[in-house]
Amino acid sequence: MSIGRYHRTVLLLEFTIEPFHEGNPGPHVTAAIAAVEAMGVEVEFGPFGSSCVVGQAQVADVSGAIVAQAFANGATHVSLHAERVADAAGGA
């Protein structure tokens, strides 16, 4: 890699927070999503799970916020899946 170039790995985080309440996600879900969105990350909320796309440098903070806020607000189980979706290289 030459000087003035950077490399960014992009990850898809998919997460499910339980207990599941159809049509009423509860504070254990909404607090986790709000914490991630407060970090400037857009969350795609789904009926059986949610997802967001983050840079590799953010993955620990975003994952930690999801888990911490979910359990602090009554979650009984959190499933988190991370998948590399892109590598981007660019110049400065």
Residues 6+ apart with CB under 8 A from 25: 45
Tokens at residue 51, please?
């997802």
SS3 content of the chain, % helix, strand, coil (to 5): 30, 40, 25
Mean pLDDT estimate for the chain: 88
**Structure pTM?**
0.84
What does the pLDDT read at residue 4?
41
* Tokens 């796309």 sit on residue: 53
- Domains located in the chain, CATH noted: 5-85 (3.30.70.930)
State how far the Cα of 27 lies from the Cα of 72, in Å rounded to an integer: 9
Across the range 10-21, mean pLDDT stands at 95
What does the pLDDT read at residue 87?
81
pLDDT tens-digit map of 21-37: 888 899 999 999 999 99
